[in-house]
Amino acid sequence: MIFLAGEWVPAWLAMTITFAVALLGVAGLGWWVLRGDALNRASEEVEEAEPHDATH
């Protein structure tokens, strides 16, 4: 039984680290996308707020 515990503990630790890194990556990517979307929406609002010149 000690032999099996010796195999499962490092495997569990490695999988925990793997899932933690994946979770951080997905959260970071989501944050990056939402930040970019917010910047794009803000720039659209600025363009719409500018007065349009009828001569152009």
Distance CA(9)–CA(54), nearest Å, equals 72
Please determine, for residue 1, whether its predicted confidence score (pLDDT) is greater than 90. Answer: no
Prediction pTM value: 0.61
Dihedral angle over CA of 29, 31, 37, 42, nearest 10: -150
CA–chain centroid gap for 16, Å, is 19
- Distance CA(21)–CA(54), nearest Å, equals 54
Q: What's the rounded mean pLDDT across residues 4-30?
A: 91
* CA gap 34, 12 in Å, rounded: 33
What single letter denotes the amino acid at residue 54?
A
pLDDT for res 10: 87
pLDDT in tens, 27-56: 999 999 999 999 998 888 777 666 666 665
